[in-house]
A and B are shown apart, each in its own frame.
Chain A
Amino acid sequence: MSSGYERTRRRIHRALVLMVALFLSQIALSGYASAAQPNDGPIGPADIELLTKVRLAGLWEMPAGEWAEKRSENARVKEVGMTIMVDHGRLDSMTRALAGQLGVPLPSQPNADQQGWLNEMQNARTAAEFDQVFGNRLRAAHGAVFSVISQVRAGTRNDRMREFATTANQAVLRHITLLESTGLVDYTRLPEASTAPKPPQIVDVDPIDVVVVISVAMVEILATIFLVGLLRKPSGRAGRRRREDSSAHALPADPFVTTRT
């Protein structure tokens, strides 16, 4: 009886130590998470994606704009190319500065698709063909990044990202309008507007949330077992007397066993 009681006590102590360790690790984890976030609010995966996409856009649209200014024979395309190059230069320095402050790593090379579009422009045999590739490729790319910008502008939790998204939104809309003003855009080749609903938010679970859920659940499970153990055991002198009485008079087994319903 007493050895069983000691064993239970040891188990409860062990559970308590584990619970405290989990609790402290949870506090440390949340402390780390909050320290990693700047004062302007937390940044999410969409914010990082936007910074990366704007940086990538700058990496291929700046040379594309420069080439348009040099290679095109169309005055409007030259003008648009020049404006896009200057705008993206400004946007790119803003992107790098903000990413540096938020600790977001940025690419230094255009991705494979963008490199392919640059190659298409480079390999254009005539100025007219170059203009076609320039107008359509840039228009499609701006359309793709526009939706990412609008989503971040609508839902970001970070004040600086919101400002950045506002600026990027204006710049990209201006570029779309400028590119369309060349009269070269083939709208039938652009991806059609989708009305697909947003995927359920349950699939967008943040890894830190999973850690929090597991930690909370484990702490709670242990706390529940610990509290049940604590509640069912009479404490102090009265408790000792009751335990002695129960062993001396061989009372019926635990009500849990007998009255299990």
Chain B
Amino acid sequence: MIAVFTEATVSVVAQSSPDTGVRSIAALSARVAYTFMCLTLCWGVLTATGWIRRLGERKALRSGHMSLAMLTLSFAVVHALCFLFLSSNAWKFTQLVIPLMPGTFVRHTMGIVALELMLAIAITACLHRWTAYRRWLWLHRLAYPAVGLGAVHSLFGAIANGHLSVLWLAGITLLVPVMTLTVLRFLPGRMLERIGLVEERV
């Protein structure tokens, strides 16, 4: 979730506006959130499939996944809130929480939807004892499209702010394992067996 700047304010940054500090925090928190987002999904898939069960108990692995998710959300929220504190072209709270508001772009909407989905998933993660497992699972699996939206939001943000040339390699490096694990996660068992990731037991 790389910095969400409006086109008009990019030029203001270039002229080293008084918002340079806020924007730097927004950019940094976005990059850290992106990193934790990728790690959270990887760790979640590995925990759910049991592929890393030799590293520890399932409960400990789930705690690790939850810690990473909390870090992702914290940095993403910091990133979003930074835009309320700009001295010029500051965002309104409604623009920050309601998608497709006037004055925002589609890439902003993607980031807003991704963050809100992640928040919903985090809240319902604690409620799985009080709801049907299938229903909870359906909601939890929305994390995959949320991460996808977050990644596209980051890509468009980097392009709009002229940071793509600096960030593309790091961004792709973090995203490829996420995509690989997601694909593996939804591959049929037979295919995984053929790759050698699942053993046939007799």
Using CB atoms and an 8 Å cutoff, list the residues of chain A in contact with chain B: 1, 4-5, 7-8, 11-12, 200-202, 209, 212-213, 216-217, 220-221, 223-225, 228-229, 231-234, 246-247, 250-251, 253-257, 259-261
Contact = CB atoms under 8 A, between A and B. Distances in A.
Contact of A216 (B162, B172, B181): B172
Given A231-B55, A233-B54, 5 more contacts: A213-B172, A223-B177, A224-B176, A255-B49, A257-B198
10 contacts: A212-B169, A216-B169, A228-B51, A228-B181, A229-B197, A251-B201, A254-B50, A259-B49, A259-B50, A260-B48
Interface in B29-61: 46, 48-55
Contact of B184 (A209, A225, A247, A255): A225
Nearest to B186: A260
A46 B173 CA distance: 28
B193 to A, nearest CB: 8
A220 B165 contact: no
A217 B169 CA distance: 10
B145 interface: no
A247 B202 contact: yes
Interface of B: 46, 48-55, 137, 140-141, 159, 162, 164-165, 168-169, 172-173, 176-177, 180-181, 184, 189, 192, 195-202
A225 B172 contact: no
Contact of B173 (A202, A209, A220, A256): A220
A11 B196 contact: yes
B46 to A, nearest CB: 7
Contacts of B54: 231-234
Which of A212, A251, A261 has its CB near the most chain B CB atoms (within 10 A)? Answer: A261
Contact of B165 (A201, A217, A221, A260): A201
Contact of B177 (A12, A201, A202, A220): A220
A223 B177 CA distance: 9
Contacts of B51: 228, 231-232, 256
Contact of B50 (A202, A209, A213, A232): A232
Q: At the interface, is chain B mostly helix, strand, loop or mixed?
A: helix
A247 B50 CA distance: 18
A224 B181 contact: yes
Contacts of B184: 225, 228
Contacts of B165: 201
A261 to B, nearest CB: 5
Contacts of B159: 200-202
Given A4-B199, A11-B196, A225-B195, A255 B180 contact: no
A233 B54 CA distance: 8
A223 B173 CA distance: 12
Contacts of A255: 49-50, 53
A122 B141 CA distance: 75
B201 A232 contact: no
Given A220-B180, A224-B181, A232-B50, A201 B196 contact: no
Nearest to B136: A261
Contacts of A216: 169, 172-173, 176
Given A212-B169, A247-B202, A260-B49, A229 B196 contact: yes
Contacts of B137: 261
A223 B181 CA distance: 11
A221 B195 CA distance: 13
